[in-house]
Amino acid sequence: MKKSKIGYLIIASAIVWGAVIIGCALVLKGTSYKEEVNYILYGGVISHLLFIWTPLGNQFRKK
């Protein structure tokens, strides 16, 4: 894996978690909806693991 690809994955990770934080803030704005926030957080964790850490893990396993 090239260094630039690792950099793109790190940036993608930051974008995913930025979107998760913004989504949580929008749901919590003036309300107390715990269940909806949990769904957003679960989606963020799953997408983060699938799209960011799976390719990195595969690359490190090859070395």
Rounded Cα distance, 38 and 62, in Å:
35
Q: Give the model's pLDDT for residue 3.
A: 60
Q: For the purposes of burial, counting CB atoms within 10 Å of the CB of 15, is it exposed (0-12), middle (13-18) or buried (19 or more)?
A: exposed
* Reported confidence tier of residue 63, pLDDT bands at 50, 70, 90: low
In three-state secondary structure terms, 30 is: coil
pTM of the model: 0.62
pLDDT digits 0-9 by tens, 4-51: 677 787 788 888 888 988 888 888 888 878 788 888 888 888 888 888
Helices (H), ranges, 1-63: 3-28, 34-48, 54-62
